[in-house]
Chains A and B, each alone.
Chain A
Amino acid sequence: MAKQRAAVLGTGQTHHRSKRTDVSMPGLLREAVDRAMVDADVGWSDIDAVVVGKAPDLFEGVMMPELFLADALGANGKPLLRVHTAGSVGGSTALVAASLVQSGVHRRVLTVAFEKQSESNAMWALSIRVPFTMPVGAGAGGYFAPHVRSYLRRSGAPEHVGAVVAAKDRRNGALNPHAHLRQSDITVDSVRASQMLWDPIRYDETCPSSDGACAMVIGDERAGDDSPAPAWIHATAMRTEPTTFAGRDQVNPQAGKDAATELWRQAGITDPLSQVDTAEIYVPFSWFEPMWLENLGFAADGEGWKLTEAGETALTGRLPVNPSGGVLSSNPIGASGMLRFSEAAKQVMGRAGDYQVDGARTALGHAYGGGSQYFSMWLVGAVKPT
């Protein structure tokens, strides 16, 4: 079944900070929404539907926040949907919004995702001790660290590669005026000297805790044609798998591989490393860059770290990864996936400012969530798909 063509008409995001106590939750979202609508050159009457995403409710302690956000999102009298797929939610929210256009149901959809981490404590919320179990949970870092260790063992990657990722992403973040952490002086050595939090993950290899929001306006083909620099959506994919089952590959999950295979198939990509100009990949802990490079098919199994070590994922490399600074520089969890999707769009729109990848025509946006259970991704391009 053929999809209608769709394009990103505009993007907007907040200045991400550890605490945005100057704004309410609705005010935080509106900061991103207003910027996206200006960028897309649309008014409220142009918006047909609103799709909002955020991470688990315990993260802010607001049940069904979409209900009290309706006024702020201009959603009264319009369809309003909320999407929830844990940390990948920003990506899957964008894909739900895109599908409402690709299906021909709506002409222009506003989509927004957010997190106000300062109102709660995600580490606490992710370590709730369920009766009858061992209280060994230690937040997201504690969950992912053993799987990072497995990757190190499996790939034989040298220990410093994680620090290479962290130093690169934080230096990229220093070029991004919206980034939470902007550390132009960080080095591989300083990352390696930082405290080991969840061995083998160090402090500087860990994402920050941020307040922030991201929004986009997605339009149909006619809206894209009328837009001066749209990001055309070439392919979208989402896949899911259970958190645990016997024989599950926790390092290189099947759901991620399947989603990537489908994405490249839809876009007619046969050699992702050569045919994709830049990628915004969900990397909350440094080692997930090489892990996802393999999962996405940019590198063979066990070889992803070689691209990183060789500098190929730096801003000037063959495949710049996270030129915006990525999740390691800003992590408003619910918004982090949408930030990856919108930063990919900004690259092909030519609107990435100081971290613009020269000549970027095709870009990947990627998100994952839960215990590496949810994967969502899109490929956007400067040229309308044929």
Chain B
Amino acid sequence: MPEQPLSAPLDIGFDYTRSVGPVLGRFMTALAQRRVLGVRGSDGRVHVPPVEYDPGTAEPLDELVDVAAEGTVVSWSWTADPLPGQPVQRPFAWALIRLDGADTALLHAVDTGGEPTSVRSGQRVRIRWADEPVGHIRDIAYFVPVTDPPADAAPTAPAPPAATSPEPGTGDDTASVDTVITPVHLNYTHSASLEESRYLRALADGRLLGQRCPACGKVYIPPRGACPTCGVPTTDEVELPDTGIVTTFCIVNVPFLGQRIKPPYVGAYILLDGADIPFLHLVLGCEVSEVRMGMRVRAAWKPRDEWSTTLENIAHFEPTGEADAPYASYAHHL
């Protein structure tokens, strides 16, 4: 079997906040009161959900009007396997629904008890409200057919984070929704290139593997498979020592969300002996104030039984105590 590239999960997520502005703010506020508002456009049409600016004239809109909690399915699509977080957690229809009193359609879920033959265009549906509305589109839990709704309540995804209002918790129903929270989670599979995978597998054996460009002779670590300057493939592998110098560095004193290393720490560009490009790593083993440009350093490896296919096998770099490299020897690496 040919050599396979390494892959690993890359999962990121953040609870984004959305300041909704005056028009959607009133829409969200009304949802918390189990009412649906549309906005009247310049041509008299009522948009649900409301739009802040007229699609035809681009003028700001502010005439909000009540529409019904019941309407007609304009079109739909069946979802046989709902994803986590989707409003209905059994097979359901995504539908464009024109509420009575509206001229545009709202996209939402229709629950038919998991039965695909029970949804059709032209069907009359009505809102099933969430038990505890918070001022969010998910206050509409889902829609059900007006005729023969499912006998049981649909399983639903966990409630969204509560919206914030300028005066939270006052119980004042004139308090308008200001901001909603929108969690976003992305789950990638990150794959290394074949060349980077060879370098990572060598790291798992405690070796540092680079590649030399056949045209310019520069040694890259990690290897890239092609020289960024010459544009030619690189195949010539070079094993590098675990010693080198600090070209330049910064001392990170600032804590931040998602930080993996406790500040203060030195993030340094390490140029291995024989390499032509530095990489970022940690420098420990001396006071942060003693780290210098040109300082000679050696890798401090983690215990062998902790090694895997990552540069983290090197816990940090530490001073060797040798004389600093002269500035002229690395000035062209800055």
B229 touches A138 (CB 8 A): no
Complex Cα gap A22–B19 (Å): 7
Contact A26–B21 (Cβ < 8 Å): yes
Closest 8 CB pairs of A and B: A24-B21, A145-B250, A74-B58, A199-B251, A131-B8, A135-B260, A246-B276, A150-B334
CA distance A138 to B263 in the complex (A): 10
Q: Mark A53-85, 1 if CB is under 8 A from B, else 0.
A: 000000011000000000111101000000000
Query: Known contacts A76-B55, A244-B277; can you find 4 more A-B pairs with CB under 8 A?
Result: A24-B23, A72-B52, A132-B192, A245-B277
| Cβ A138 vs Cβ B252 within 8 A | yes
Query: Nearest chain-A residue to B268 (Cβ)?
Result: A146
Q: Which single member of B14, B53, B249 contacts A26 (CB below 8 Å)?
A: B53
Q: Please state if B334 and A251 are interface contacts (CB–CB under 8 Å).
A: yes
Contact between B280 and A61, CB atoms less than 8 A apart: no
A139-155 residues at the B interface, CB under 8 angstroms:
139, 141-142, 145-147, 149-150, 153-154
How distant is the Cα of A141 from the Cα of B277 in the complex, in angstroms?
21
Find chain A residues with CB under 8 A from B12 CB. Answer: 128
In this assembly, does B10 line the interface, its C-beta being within 8 Å of a C-beta of chain A?
yes
Q: Is B44 an interface residue (CB 8 A)?
A: no
Contact across chains for B327 and A146 when beta carbons are under 8 A apart = no
Residues of B within 8 A of A60 (CB): 16
Contact B21 A27 (CB under 8 A): yes
Is the pair B58, A72 in contact by a Cβ cutoff of 8 Å? yes
B58 and A134 within 8 A (CB): no
Establish whether residues B256 and A139, one from each chain, have CB atoms under 8 Å apart when the complex forms.
yes
Whether A16 sits at the interface, judged by CB under 8 Å, is no
The answer to whether A124 and B256 have CB atoms under 8 Å apart is yes
Instruction: List chain A positions with a Cβ less than 8 A from chain B.
Output: 19-27, 30, 44, 60-61, 71-74, 76, 116, 118-121, 123-125, 127-139, 141-142, 145-147, 149-150, 153-154, 195-201, 242, 244-247, 249-251
Contacts A26-B52, A27-B52, A145-B250 given; indicate if A136 touches B259 (C-beta within 8 A).
no
Interface majority SS (helix, strand, loop, mixed), chain A: loop
Docked pose: A27 CA to B219 CA in angstroms: 51
The DSSP consensus for interface residues of chain B is mixed
What's the least CB distance linking B276 to chain A, in Å?
4
Stretch at the interface among B63-71, B73-81, B133-141, B178-186: B178-186
Contact assessment for B268 and A134 in the assembled complex, using a CB-CB cutoff below 8 Å: no
Interface size band for B: 35 or more
Q: Say if the beta carbon of B54 comes within 8 Å of chain A.
A: yes
Task: State whether the Cβ of B112 lies closer than 8 Å to any Cβ in chain A.
Answer: no
Bound together, the chains give a CA A198 to CA B267 distance in angstroms of 10
Q: Does B159 sit at the interface, judged by CB under 8 A?
A: no
A23, B311: Cα distance in complex, Å: 45
**A146, B250: Cβ atoms under 8 Å?**
yes
Which residues of chain B from 177 to 222 have a CB within 8 Å of any chain A CB? Answer: 178-179, 182, 184, 190, 192, 196, 200, 216, 218-220
* Bound CA span A138–B259, Å: 8
